Structure 1
Amino acid sequence: MVNSQAGSHILVIEDEKYRRTISLEEATYSMGRHKSNAIVLNSKQASRKHATLIRRLNTKTNSYSYWILDGDLEGNKSVNGVFVNGEKCLVKELKNGDLINFGCNVNASYHCTTNGSDTFINIERFRNGNGTLNERTIGEVTAVKPREITSFKSTLRATLTLSDDRQDNLSSKETIQEQAFRDPLTDLPNRTLFHEYLSIALSNAKRNQNLVGVVLLDLDSFKQINDGFGYPIGDQLLKCCADRLNSCFRSGDIVARWGGDEFAILLPRISHIEDVSKIGQRILEILQQPFEVSGQKLQLRSQMGVALYPQDGQDVSTIVEQATANLRQNKERKIDGSASQGSTVDPKAAQLFKAKNVLSQALVQEEFSLCYQPQVNISSGEIHGMEALLRWKHPRFGQVSPSKFIPLAEETDLIIPIGKWVLKTACIQNQAWQKIGLPAVPVSVNLSPRQLQHPDLVKMVGQVLDETGLAPHWLELEITEAALMQDLELARKVMRELQQLGVSISMDDFGIGCSSLGYLKQLPFHTLKIAQSFVRELKDDSQDAALLSALITLGRSLNLRVVAEGVETEQQVELLRSLHCEEMQGYRFSKPLQAEEAAKFLALSPIV
């Protein structure tokens, strides 16, 4: 079931006439100067059809997000362009807090509650001295018409009211008095607000069927610090604890002041029970480190009580009572730092230990193999490349899905020797095909994030090329955007060194991330591989066709080779052809083939 109601999508627009806040609910919104647009941009510098907002399903998270497209769905682009966070883009998935400029004096900001705890939305924006948008505090929320946007109770229940430039000074009745729900010392949410956050988290968890965790934390040595150093030092220590706790959690997690020397942590979205153990251990580790307050080094001891939804309760009061009872028991037993009442063995660590042994054995016993999937030019019918794909046949369990064992290899660092084996095997195979007179084509090999960050990657690639005798230009390395974003500066350095070797580099799964024009210009890519998710959902006159057209146009404008992955039907072939994408890969042409079958396929080129 699609999680379409998990949050709100809000667009705040400020132009020459109005400041408007729009709750996004439709599948598409046309934006431009002409009054026929769903969202009119009141500026003479804006194009008649300037941009389009498109709602698209993220199949991984099973939730919707909005993309902004420069121009309309017919392929017409705006005159001045679209800028997201200062960067010009043809198409981009919007993230919470993104600032949008339409190449003129029209600004907008995008806000959503799908990636947090579904509570406050900070959407009040004001123009500062240079004409850009400046963020206000989280206390005030305005919009085009009354619409309840959160599930807050009583005085926390915020409604959205019409606002323009003449309504900058909101009355006290229209302002959420946030001070009543925050701890004045630490500026954390207080117990009252924590209960409301927990209530919302439980409502979302029941709908999304995820776990929710509550951790109560007691600083059991705090009284001695107050007695020994005085209350001013104790207050400063509490502030330091609050800052340190806040630093170690995700943006959607909530740290609150429970009262006295106690804190509460809300974990609104937990995937696995064992995650709570890891989080608890992380809390203890950061609190065990000495605090330096007014020249004094102070050490704290702490106790925890944990409760989980739905195991320990279905409502706020029951879960809080259970966490309190567990905290009391732990204090009585003097359990310093256990985040659960069960075994201290981390199930995840045990799983990784077993996986490492099994994968190591598979490498030694030669249980891995490679398949090759052709990349075809539909105009000439020629094969322009072969992608090497790793396969594992376990002697007992048979074929193991790459989606299961590759992440485990990544976590255990075995991806480094396995990746080297894949690279060397693919190069040997390509050299063998060329020696028997088959058409010479590049073979592409995927690099994982861990491989990209390995200090000896470039040296290893050079050694493999020397050992196998394969010319560097017949090797292409595929890198995902996610791998790049882990350390962009390191990625830039490594890619330039690989380019100096003569190796080609392609961006894999292009379009899933932000498809940034900026770093595409900075990094030495040769090929863009359009993500399968775009091709799979491609239909005639669909919104995905407009997004896909923009991605292809972006690649072609940078003189990059563009390959569409996951092509399975003739309809997809023809639609991609109409979008000027000529190179494709997928089951429509061939499934992944064993080396012998791939050689026969090469011998038959051209195939179309």
Structure 2
Amino acid sequence: MSGNEREKIRHLLVVQDLQGQRTIILHEATYSIGRHSSNAIILYSRSVSRQHAILLRVTVPGTEQYGFRIIDGNFKGQGSTNGLIVNGERCVSHNLRHGDIIHFGSNQAQAKYYAISNLSEEALNESVNADNLSDFLTEQSQPVTPFHTLVVDPNFEGASDAALARLASFPEMIPNPIIETDLEGNLTYLNPAATVKFPRLREMGKEHPILEGILTEVQNRKVNSFVREVQFGQEVFEQSVHFLAESDLIRTYIIRDITEQKQAELELYQRDRLLEAVARAANYLLGEMDYETGVDKALAVLGEAAKVDRAYLFKNHFHPLTGEIAVSLQCEWTRFPLPTSRHHWQNQLYELPALSRWYTVLSNGQLINGITKDFPANEQGILLRDGIQSLLLVPLRLDEQFCGFLGLADCTQERIWSQHEESALLTMAASISGAWQRQQVEEKIRYQALHDLLTGLPNRLLFDELLGKALANATRSNESLAVIFLDLDRFKIINDTLGHTLGDRLLQSVAQRLQTSLRSGDTVARWGGDEFTILLPRIHFLEEVTQVAWRILKAFENVFYLEGHELYVSASLGIALLDEHSPDAETLIQHADTALYHAKDEGRNNYQFYTTSLSAKTPDILNLDKNLRYALERGEFTVYYQPQINLYSEQITGMEALLRWQHSEMGIVAPSVFIPLAEESGLIVTIGEWVLRTACQQNRAWQDAGFNPLIIAVNLSPKQFRQPNLVETVAQILAETGLEPQYLELEITESTAIEDIEFTKKVLYDLEAMGVHLSIDDFGTGHSSLSRLQLLPLHNLKIDSSFIRELTTDTRVAHIVKAIVTLGRSLGLKLTAEGVEKQEEIDFLKSIHCEDVQGFYFHRPLSAEKATEVLQRKSGRSQ
């Protein structure tokens, strides 16, 4: 045994508990002692705490030697249950000396400490298993003198209370970062783990994320300890903060790195957001009557949930020029006011190098997912023009065919798309494809129900529907229209001699020639057999009708070449004009049919009018236009009023103002004649202001006369509605006439409302803010829906008279009116039925709770004097 070996200090702890005696050679810098199996030294006794004490290696001041200090409690500074007793005295901590006896709360668990230097390695190993260990150590060794009276220098850092508390939590040894600051935020201590983990902590001080805001939180929370979460770069930590009031210190521990936990929580949160968004989007796609509106809402809710910059829907189609497969952007949503990319994505051929790979991947049912810089160069070009840095695309399929794709794009960062985002986009694509398929099925069913399968032309049902709407528009716009009944001459001979197949081919060719002979906006329908009906709306001159009739006859002069046959076919035409003799759809068709027979009687291959020419029944247009310009200053205009009646109380709830023109020479000029002229010339703006002022004055006069206040309804023409100073004009007229805004209702037609929905919204909201009531006139004729009109601040819907006329004869129309009333009432709108003339109509409207009506059944339009008399009778007053 060498001298160096004999001088080596040996530290032993001889433990005695319920399982007997054992010797522990102390090599490590720190030991935890307690009942729990996680301790370095386990004591088998119920009186011992789970972690009862800490054994800490301490350097002896002024030497290179060290001893051990025992500290009561666990690493968090929490004391044991039954205390620590050294040499018979209870203590919190103690610098161990050779021969010290330690009791851990009772006599069931104790230990004796030895520090010796004259013991060889072999003797040391023998001592560990010796039965008479105490005698053996006494005989074989002598204690090292410094440890007889081991005293730590009072000036040594480890002797202070603060240092003792620090030692009790083992800051120098444990791998968790520990930081201390004073109450001004100055760093007073960092353990090695904190220095390694946060190398710039001393440099940044309280500005460092780990210390940022701690002083404020300590003051605000008013507790001595709490746990918070802090983020440092991409990492998230759980930080325990302790305010040591007795030392004016704040000690923080980084308990654990919860970055992965937070990422998992964030992923779960994002997954839930996406699932919720997909569910909401599916509801939009199912609930919206308009497919594109549903898609717009679905893209918006998904884009918001995914926090992307753009969401797209692209549709495949054939290129209009080349016929090759191409793609176009159908719908787009952007988070910020980004420039639209729609003009970049119209009629883009897949055969282009930038899109060929996309077609291959997507048509095979695969995804495109990546960062723009990783895409091929030609693809980068089309993405970077829209500022796209990351892109996710999934295919859309319809009947197992690749029909387009759905995409998310990020323009602000290089984003890695998650599996949840891929899954959400795939689910959304399936929902959109389903909605798309439903739309196509519905359109196909509607098309088949409303079109002739042989020629593809509208059938009788659709023609009746279009004619009804055209009549309503003509009445509202003060225009005329014409219906032509056409029959092929001697078609039966061709059909019987050459067969029905050739006859069908001939009918298809006839349909094509008829379509090319008409004006834009005209309609040709197959009525049945070899009969066709033609609708010519918006007629101002008789010559317009004769020109169309002449072109149709001219189209039949050319031979039909069909299956080797040269066929010469002519046609006979009967024409009926909208006038006092033909005021409705049924009469128009009947009169056109009658005129057709006259054409056949006249030798076929010609056209005949049911009545005399249109120019004989209406004033000369040019002369009328000249007189119209002076009508207002000559006082030839007057306003009539048609009462609106509540079906249950039979009281008058309002009046509609209607313009009439009494010319000194021409007599009464129909509104259907002069209103279009006024609209075209711009005079309608001045005339409309006069009507509005006159109606407001009359309503105020009725109120001043003591009648119950009622609402006066005034129609605004399209040109008048689009005047930039309309709101100011209305306000000025109300101020001049003294009529309160709530007693004025302004009506616009459905087609005017939906022509520019954003402009309409702005004007109507301004008028509503003023207090004016707002109404849609002739609802049901403008091909819109309540889902669009509900965007507007409306108070009243006026159901078009064309629906009311067919209430008792067409169950389909009755269902439509009932649906309109139900939806309108659910939106809080007042419903007014126009054109009510029969008791059966009133009974039906009562049954569906449509309370207000207007029509000849109660009152025709009345002069101001006659309207006043009606109000007097209703109020029970004499004149």
TM-score (norm 2): 0.34
Which structure would you say has the larger Rg?
Answer: 2
More helix by share: 2
TM-score (norm 1): 0.48
Higher relative contact order (CA 8 A, sep 6+): 1
